[in-house]
């Protein structure tokens, strides 16, 4: 496959994933003002904790089998029927475990009121996740995107009905998500999985063992990422209150939107990376070029958001949540390194090196936990934001060093370092009201924009388009 075909394949998958993810995430993003205006900081803090528990609970309950499903389905000679049967087995297992968790949720103080809804939500989320990853694995990406959009539309409509109209509060939030997840499962069965015979029988134990072996190390990996992304929430709540946790939760919304874009691309890149399973010079050069473009684009987006964070949050959230901008800045900086770390981790996916995922995540988790203990007492919630940022950097640096055993990529050159300097200046200007610093940021940001335009060689693309029109007799 030549570079043009590689690019077309990557662009096609990126656009398809963008259709589903952007559509769904934009709606989710737009719902935040509804949540912050209909729920108190205390209520939003409870929902954030529920989300955090779900993010770690689902991988444990399902043994993170979703990751193995998509990776094994991408193999050329994969047996889709056998993998589907394994998916069914794990779906049943998820329901049983979720039911057993109900008594535990009843003991969680302020969360006990929502124990039943919580159990159903985790079960539904687990099964819908497995179903959607199966569809991605068989490369029915357009179907995946359409279902994702439908799911989010349902969440949006029901959230308005349950929160704004009926005023069910936290229960309304949970009901909307439960119904959306169940609908997702039904749609997956109707649109794609129906093409295979779904039978409850003993699965292929040899294949199941291989998949579990791959996903086994991804379970503690998920726990480590949970520590990186969410442990600070459990430290903020008892130290500074659920109100502070609610504000901190809102501060992650802008970084989360950036992560949406990076995850869209990285989802598409996974397919390209698996196909680009070669160590030759041409392959390495191609991956390096894609990395460079990815790095510079995400850096530009993050710099812009840091510059605009104050006016954006003033419009975006309720006044009680405006202080969230203070914590958004270091989280945005960390998001760049999180995105880069995810990109280069494709080498782990190619080589089915789930231990690599675990090792790097463990490094990040240890850094995050230690820094939270050190920084939160003197700096408060800001300490948590800084700790998260530095843990993302630690993960990236570890992965950049570790994957040298597979491939050598030039991560930083003069132009990339200049982007990094601009990022640091923009972060400083958010807190320091200085006209000279503001001017420097503006000049540096402009230089970065022109460099990126030059990098993508837009003139060359325009000439290609022009030549295509000429060949068709169009002037």
Average of per-residue pLDDT across 63-67: 87
Kindly state whether residue 22 falls inside one of the protein's structural domains: no
Domain boundary among 149, 181, 216: 216
Asked if residue 13 belongs to a domain, the reply is no
Buried b (16+ CB within 10 A) or exposed e, 173-198: bbbbbbbbbbbbbebbeeebbeeeee
Total domain count for the chain? 2
Last residue of a domain, one of 192, 216, 240: 216
CB contact at 8 A, 273 and 310 = no
Nearest to 187 by CA among 234, 213, 150: 150
The least confident of 193-202, 401-410, 439-448, 459-468 is 459-468
- 195 and 236 in a common domain: no
User: Of 216, 250, 283, which residue sits at a domain end?
Assistant: 216
Residue 292 lies in a domain: yes
User: Does residue 316 sit in the same domain as residue 167?
Assistant: no
Same domain, 304 and 445: yes
Q: What is the Cα 50 distance to its own chain's centre?
A: 18
- Say yes or no to pLDDT of 298 above 70: yes
**Is 70 exceeded by the pLDDT of residue 48?**
yes
Which pLDDT band holds residue 474 (cuts at 50, 70, 90)?
A: very low
* In-domain check, residue 4: no
pLDDT: which is higher, 402 or 56: 402
- Check whether residue 197 and residue 301 sit in a common domain: no
Is residue 57 scored above 50 in pLDDT? yes
> Do the domain assignments include residue 248?
yes
Residue 173 in any domain: the answer is yes
**DSSP states of 416-427 as a string?**
HHHHHHHHHHHH
Residues 402 and 459 in one domain: yes
156: containing domain: 39-216
- Identify the pLDDT of residue 462: 44
For the segment 39-51, the average pLDDT, to the nearest whole number, is: 78
How far separated are the first and last CA of the chain, in Å rounded? 32
3 state DSSP class of 443: helix
Verdict on whether the full-model pTM lies above 0.85: no
Residues 329 and 442 in one domain: yes
In this structure, the answer to whether residues 195 and 242 fall within a common structural domain is: no
* Other CB atoms within 10 Å distance of the CB of residue 160: 16
Name the residue with higher pLDDT: 179 or 313: 179
426 and 297 in a common domain: yes
Pairwise CA distance, residues 320 & 247, whole Å: 8
Q: Over the stretch 392-450, which tens digit does the pLDDT of each residue have?
A: 999 999 999 998 888 877 788 888 899 999 999 999 988 888 899 989 999 999 999 99
What average pLDDT is seen over the chain?
A: 83
pLDDT at residue 460 in the model: 54
Q: Are residues 242 and 303 in the same domain?
A: yes
- Does one domain contain both 212 and 235? no
Q: CA 167, 169, 173, 178: dihedral to nearest 10 degrees?
A: -90
Please give the Cα distance from 316 to 375 (Å, whole number): 29
pLDDT at 284 over 90: no
One domain, residues 257 and 161 = no
The answer to whether residue 8 is domain-embedded is no
DSSP string, 269-296: HHHHHHHT---SHHHHHHHHHHHHHHHH
> Higher model confidence: residue 266 or residue 458?
266
Q: Are 46 and 169 in contact (CB under 8 A)?
A: no
Mean pLDDT of 454-466: 56
Q: Is residue 2 part of a domain?
A: no
- 13-27, 215-229, 371-385: segment of lowest average pLDDT: 13-27
Asked whether residue 294 falls in the same domain as residue 394, the answer is yes
How many residues are listed for the chain in this entry?
Answer: 475
| pLDDT above 70: residue 457 | no
């Amino acid at each position: 496959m030549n570079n043009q075909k590689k690019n077309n394949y990557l662009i096609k998958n990126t656009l398809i994933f963008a259709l589903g993810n952007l559509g769904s995430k934009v709606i989710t993003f737009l719902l935040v003002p509804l949540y912050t205006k209909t729920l108190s900081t205390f209520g939003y803090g409870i929902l954030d904790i529920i989300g955090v528990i779900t993010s770690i609970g689902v991988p444990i309950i399902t043994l993170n089998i979703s990751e193995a499903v998509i990776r094994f389905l991408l193999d050329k000679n994969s047996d889709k029927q056998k993998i589907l049967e394994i998916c069914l087995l794990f779906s049943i297992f998820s329901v049983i475990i979720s039911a057993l968790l109900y008594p535990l949720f009843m003991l969680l103080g302020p969360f006990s009121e929502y124990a039943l809804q919580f159990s159903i939500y985790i079960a539904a989320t687990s099964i819908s996740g497995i179903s959607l990853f199966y569809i991605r694995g068989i490369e029915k990406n357009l179907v995946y995107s359409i279902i994702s959009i439908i799911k989010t539309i349902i969440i949006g409509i029901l959230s308005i009905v349950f929160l704004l109209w009926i005023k069910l509060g936290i229960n309304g939030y949970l009901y909307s998500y439960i119904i959306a997840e169940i609908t997702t499962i039904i749609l997956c069965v109707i649109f794609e999985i129906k093409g295979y015979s779904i039978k409850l029988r003993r699965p292929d134990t040899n294949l199941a063992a291989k998949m579990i072996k791959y996903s086994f190390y991804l379970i503690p990996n998920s726990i480590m990422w949970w520590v990186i992304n969410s442990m600070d929430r459990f430290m903020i709540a008892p130290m500074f209150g659920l109100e502070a946790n609610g504000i901190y939760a809102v501060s992650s919304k802008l970084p989360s939107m950036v992560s949406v874009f990076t995850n869209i691309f990285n989802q598409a890149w996974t397919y390209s990376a698996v196909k680009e399973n070669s160590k030759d010079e041409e392959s390495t050069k191609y991956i390096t070029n894609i990395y460079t473009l990815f790095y510079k684009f995400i850096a530009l987006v993050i710099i812009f958001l840091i510059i605009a964070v104050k006016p954006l949050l003033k419009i975006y959230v309720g006044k009680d949540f405006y202080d969230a901008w203070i914590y958004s800045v270091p989280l945005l900086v960390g998001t760049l390194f999180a995105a880069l770390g995810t990109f280069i981790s494709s080498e782990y996916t190619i080589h089915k090196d789930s231990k690599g995922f675990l090792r790097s995540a463990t490094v990040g988790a240890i850094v995050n936990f230690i820094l939270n203990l050190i920084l939160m007492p003197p700096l408060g919630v800001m300490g948590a934001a800084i700790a998260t940022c530095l843990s993302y950097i630690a993960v990236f640096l570890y992965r950049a060093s570790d994957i040298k055993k597979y491939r050598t990529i030039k991560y930083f050159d003069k132009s990339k370092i200049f982007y990094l300097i601009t990022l640091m200046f923009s972060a400083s200007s958010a807190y320091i009201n200085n006209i000279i610093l503001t001017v420097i940021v503006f000049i540096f940001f402009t230089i970065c924009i022109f460099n990126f335009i030059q990098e993508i060689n837009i003139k060359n693309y325009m000439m290609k388009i022009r030549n295509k029109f000429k060949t068709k007799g169009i002037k």
